[in-house]
Amino acid sequence: MTICIENHDFAYETENVVRLFYPDEKLVTVKDSQEMPEKPFVITRITRNDNGTVLLSARLCMQDFDKTSEYTCTPEEASDEKETERLLAVCLYDVLCACTDREQPWGILTGVRPIKLFRRLKEDRGEQYALDYFTKKLLVSEPKAKLAALTETYESKIISLSRPESVSIYISIPFCPTRCSYCSFVSQTIESAKKLIEPYFGLLLKEIEYTGKIVAAKKLRLESIYIGGGTPTTLSAVQLHELIKTIYGAFDMSTCREFTIEAGRPDTIDEAKLCAILEGGCDRISINPQTLNDSVLEVIGRKHNSAQTVSAFTLARRLGFRHINMDLIAGLPTDTADSFRMTLDRICALAPESITVHTLAMKRSSRLTLSGSKTGEGGCAGEMLDYAGVKLPECAYHPYYLYRQTRMEGNLENVGWSKDGFDGIYNIYVMDETHTILGCGAGAVTKLKVPFSNELTRIFNYKYPYEYINGFEEMIRRKDQVVDFYDRLS
């Protein structure tokens, strides 16, 4: 599909609104309507008239559809670039809704962090203004706006605990037993990367120690640690013990409010590993079934079954883990609304302290997308999330963080739900960009946050384990940018 941008610079927002309705279309943007090919095409235009008025228009032309939506700006609206951009997006949204005969649950809102926007609006002019802005200006559905408001209430409690000197740590273990069909993370299967694990692990410990020295020298306050991947429990029990021991030796853990290790694959969990984690001092793990439908697990490339998930959870609970999170995905290939309800009911019966309900996102580099699957083929994700939104509050869970991704089934959302006192604080801090996140390991990104501002400086580690190993000295040099950053702040 070709998009023509005439007399304005809102190409990014225009493309994002089109993708809400046509996520798999290849979009080509031009600036002159005379360059337009045959249908389908979109033309968005701003016309400044001699009488001082400004006309916004959006035209969508498909094979059997041709409609234009127009809006004449007031002088005040025309003088505000962000408001002009919003109104043009509304015109475009109008013709897209008419063509597809559907509306979007999040309206014209395309950002990853809707709760961050809601919080800013609430802080500026109050919660009712934020709700009205979401529903009337951004065309967000009332249920989603209310979900945003409730989530923001719980998020804010955690965010208020952060201080200017606060930091959190992310540690990457980029190895998995197999690669799931929907996955686009930088991770490698154990089979293909077996020889890399030992050298990678040894260098990772050195990076953690080096990072700990920086945190101590700059007198930073550690709030949370998250070990993710990949699947950290692909490491052996001995390696997990050494990893946690290194962390406790590198950082002052007395201020750490939460320490999480993803034990995502039930088939990588055994008693020795869980004991190493728990006895080492980690109080939160994530056991991620994604679904308890064995046929769906097979389709997405998981090598475990639902019984192994329940056994892993039962073992962790018996050993004494006080906070177990479980992840589910709505919209997986071949899953149904009834199957999802069964999965969620069984998970709620286990009573984990927190449950994250993701919506399938069709990432371009995933095996699912590369095999030709399209967004919208994952089933009735909306119905699944609606059920979660009723079932989880009935079981005493509340939404504590929320984010969105591109090419999500139904243009929906990912929501973390928890019981009182068990909100995943790292998840909130990283999604809100509350304070500095220091990343260690392949694919990790350090985000340096200037306190009381939206200013972020990013430092990227090498993506792949072999790059990490070969370029380790360069990555350690990059860590010195953290020192320079805090020196400039002082």
Helix (H) / strand (E) element for 400: namely strand 398-403
* β strands within 35-162, DSSP E: 41-48, 54-62, 65-73
| Cα–Cα distance for residue pair 450/89, rounded to 1 Å | 32
Closest CA to 409 of 375, 386, 384: 375
**pLDDT value of position 189:** 59
* pLDDT value, residue 397: 98
| pLDDT tens per residue across span 147-178 | 999 999 999 999 999 999 999 999 999 998 76
Report residues of the chain scoring pLDDT below 70.
35-37, 178-192, 363-379
- Report the C-alpha gap between 366 and 362 in whole angstroms: 7
Q: CB-based contacts of 276: which residues, under 8 Å, 6+ apart?
A: 237, 238, 240, 241, 244
> Each residue of 57-74: pLDDT tens digit?
999 999 889 999 999 998
Q: How far apart are CA 426 and CA 416, in angstroms?
A: 12
Q: Give every CB contact of residue 127 below 8 A, 6+ residues apart in sequence.
A: 149
Q: What is the pLDDT of residue 200?
A: 96
Residue recorded with tokens 């697990």: 297
Q: How high is the pLDDT of residue 181?
A: 52
Task: Write down the pLDDT at residue 37.
Answer: 66
Count CA atoms closer than 13 A to 34's CA, side-chain side: 0
